[in-house]
Amino acid sequence: MYDMKALYEAGSVEEAVRLRIEHPEAQIIAGGSDVLVQMREGKRAGKELISIYGIDAMRGVSIDENEAIRIGSLTSFSHITRDPIIQKYCNVLGEAVDMVGGPQIRNIGTIGGNTCNGVTSADSASTLHAWEAIVELTGSNGVRRVPIKEFYIKAGQVDIKPDEIQTAIIIPKESYEGTYGHYIKYAMRNAMDIATLGCSVNVRLSADKKTIERARIAYGVAGPVPMRAESAERYAAGKSVSLETVEQFGAEVLNDINPRDSWRASKAFRQHIAVEMAKRCLVCSIKLAGGEI
């Protein structure tokens, strides 16, 4: 049994917002793969819960009127991995969330829960940062959209107001069009483990595939929140597709990341693998984009 004070079930976004206002101390629960585990551990014992899991309008992947990819916050990891829109335009996100936990977790866990937790090790987070995703929040004052790099405030804390729920993740057309990416998760084992470090890179090449028009790179566990390595991005822009570019791109990430020492890995080790992961992700992204290196 779970030690909860009360459970309220919302059937619509509007009802969820109303419940948030009526029960300001309540915890939002979607799939429950994190909240219920924490409740069993006693960390959230006696809490009120607002379940949004029954809001089907918050599920699914679509292309909106601005040709952006819209991912409902209740879309499961398994759904994202298999979705044809994701596979066509942002396959790396499907590959990243396919590394979350095991099949049961991927079937119940949601992209909204993964981002709202605010943890730097979330497998979706670095790819969403690299693809310049926008977080859609709905509250009593309507819809608010926040760039994902501003959504993460500090470890475990995100920019959600007391009357809001996250309703979607949006990837703008200018972020995915003609863009190809790769994600690497370094962990102590190949399955059922959180990331020691995660790295996501994407590139857009010139028509002749000889020049990097732009590159994006983001990390998880390289700081207290997921983060871009913008020094590397600025360096790569306009550079030729070459091993020299790849080497310097990797070196540049050290200007931005700030990993910590922990029982999983030392800061020095995380810095070392961050450079190698950046290079490998860039090479793979270039090849996916049709370049030769």
**26-70 pLDDT, tens digit each:** 989 998 777 777 777 777 777 899 999 999 999 999 999 999 999
Provide the pLDDT confidence category of residue 185 given band limits of 50, 70 and 90: very high
Query: Dihedral angle at the C-alpha atoms of 16, 98, 270, 190, nearest 10 degrees?
Result: 130
Task: Note whether residue 221 is domain-resident.
Answer: yes
Half-sphere exposure for 98 (CA within 13 Å, toward CB): 14
Indicate the helix (H) or strand (E) that contains 17.
helix 13-22
CATH label of the domain that carries residue 15:
3.30.43.10
Distance CA 237, CA 245 (A): 10
Task: Note whether residue 281 is domain-resident.
Answer: yes
Both 161 and 93 in one domain: the answer is yes
* Closest by CA position to 215, among listed 193, 191, 187, 245: 245
Both 165 and 130 in one domain: the answer is yes
CATH label of the domain that carries residue 130:
3.30.465.10
Predicted pLDDT at 33? 76
This prediction's pTM: 0.94
- Max Cα separation, the chain? 62
Q: For residue 130, what are the domain limits? A: 61-174
Given a cut of 90, whether residue 135 has pLDDT beyond it is yes
Provide the pLDDT confidence category of residue 1 given band limits of 50, 70 and 90: low
Beta-sheet strands, E only, within 152-272: 152-154, 157-158, 165-171, 180-186, 197-205, 212-220, 227-228
Task: Note whether residue 200 is domain-resident.
Answer: yes
Task: Note whether residue 222 is domain-resident.
Answer: yes
Distance CA 66, CA 274 (A): 35
Given a cut of 80, whether residue 195 has pLDDT beyond it is yes
Q: What residues contact 287, with CB distance under 8 A and at least 6 apart? A: 293
Question: Across the strands, what pairs with 182?
Answer: 201
Both 183 and 85 in one domain: the answer is no
Tell me the average pLDDT across 143-156.
96
Both 121 and 75 in one domain: the answer is yes
Predicted pLDDT at 193? 77
Given a cut of 80, whether residue 8 has pLDDT beyond it is yes
Task: Note whether residue 208 is domain-resident.
Answer: yes
Domain count, the chain: 3
For 150-175, what is each residue's pLDDT tens digit?
999 999 899 999 999 999 999 999 99
How buried is residue 9: exposed, middle or buried, by Cβ count under 10 Å (0-12/13-18/19+)?
A: middle
Among 44-53, 115-124, 149-158, 229-238, where is mean pLDDT lowest? Answer: 44-53
Boundary (domain end) residue, out of 145, 174, 203: 174
Given a cut of 80, whether residue 198 has pLDDT beyond it is yes
Distance CA 213, CA 209 (A): 9
Task: Note whether residue 293 is domain-resident.
Answer: no
Task: Note whether residue 56 is domain-resident.
Answer: no
Both 70 and 156 in one domain: the answer is yes
Predicted pLDDT at 266? 96
Q: Which two tokens stand for residue 21?
A: 């206002």
